[in-house]
Amino acid sequence: MATATARMLTIQSLRSRLRPSAALGHSFFSTSTVSASAAAVEAERSRRDGPRNDWSRDEIKSVYDSPVLDLLFHGAQVHRHFHKFREVQQCTLLSIKTGGCTEDCSYCPQSSRYETGLKAQKLMNKEAVMQAAKQAKEAGSTRFCMGAAWRDTVGRKTNFNQILEYVKEIRAMGMEVCCTLGMLEKQQAEELKKAGLTAYNHNLDTSREYYPNIITTRSYDERLETLHHVREAGISVCSGGIIGLGEAEEDRVGLLHTLATLPIHPESVPINALVAVKGTPLQDQKPVEIWEMIRMIATARIAMPKAMVRLSAGRVRFSMPEQALCFLAGANSIFTGEKLLTTPNNDFDADQMMFKILGLTPKAPSFAKAEEEHEPEICKEALSSVG
């Protein structure tokens, strides 16, 4: 009750500040008061109180539904309060084991169930991976991410041990290291931590409700369980989703609500726009509009103010001015390089030009956050909750 009263007082206080002054007369303003949007109210709260994990779904929806210019403005305010607003992290994602995946993710050209023309390949050798990491570092990337098209790593001990070696070597180069290898068990997460892994990516993709329309071979709770193992091992969590899958706006709200109510917010939240690939069940989905990306990015920034919000897949479709709006809304991380796993991406030269024109600065590697020892957090509430 006290919390609800405090929220109402905050809204009333903010609205009183936005009310036109009587001293200015009625020639400039109508007699009606100006109502503060949910984006304005919650952004002020985030700046004042910092991150919280008790968001209701309705609160997230109210922020998401705010006028887009309000969202853009207040997302920018929160971003500038918690981050160096010109600083953008450059990451490179390499597919170290391509194709042949047994899962049925409707968006993925690497599934063996679809005819996409993609040939399955074995795990890349150490020399090729190290060369790619070196080139990424020389081009300005500070985080190197390795992806393998697997459902999980069970029964892949030889390959998993090879990846542990890759992690150690890339970390020794002074880069942050991230992996996305499918589902993990507790012991595997601990081994990755010992090898020096900075972050582990495991996206939730969409809301719990819409998820069965996209994937049937891995449950939503299995994804949350992997995030729990990663967090318990002391590895930074990278988890976000994809828009443009045919979902409703309510599903986008549901995804953000699940992420924002985890015991600890993900350190990195990738926002992906579907890149429709011929041969997949989602090949005919219409492209995502820039305003949809801005809504997702700004809402994520207000709800999870300290997270790195990554403008991820689909960025290649957006012009430089459109990407500038995404950075203004709160995005502060991108993937660079010609491909994201198997789909097209902006090349290094184009991104360097964009950084120069927009006055962006590359974010230096940060190992302190990954080195922090977190208290074990139990994700039972997230595992059993809807949305």
**Which of 45, 91, 143, 145 is an active site residue?**
145
326 is catalytic: no
Among 45, 57, 91, 101, which one carries the catalytic annotation?
101
Binding site feature residues? 101, 105, 108, 145, 178, 238, 310
**What is the Cα–Cα distance from 276 to 132, expressed in whole angstroms?**
26
**Catalytic entry in 156, 171, 218, 238:** 238
Q: Catalytic residue, from 218, 252, 310, 315: name it.
A: 310
- For residue 238, indicate whether it is catalytic: yes
Q: Which residues are annotated as a binding site for [2Fe-2S] cluster?
A: 145, 178, 238, 310
Is 108 considered catalytic here? yes
Distance CA 205, CA 211 (A): 7
Which residues carry a binding-site annotation for [4Fe-4S] cluster? 101, 105, 108
- Told to judge if 317 belongs to the known catalytic residues of this protein, a careful annotator would answer no
CB 324 within 8 A of CB 101: no
The question of whether 379 is a catalytic residue gets the answer: no
Out of 91, 108, 179, 326, pick the active-site residue: 108
Give catalytic residue positions.
101, 105, 108, 145, 178, 238, 310
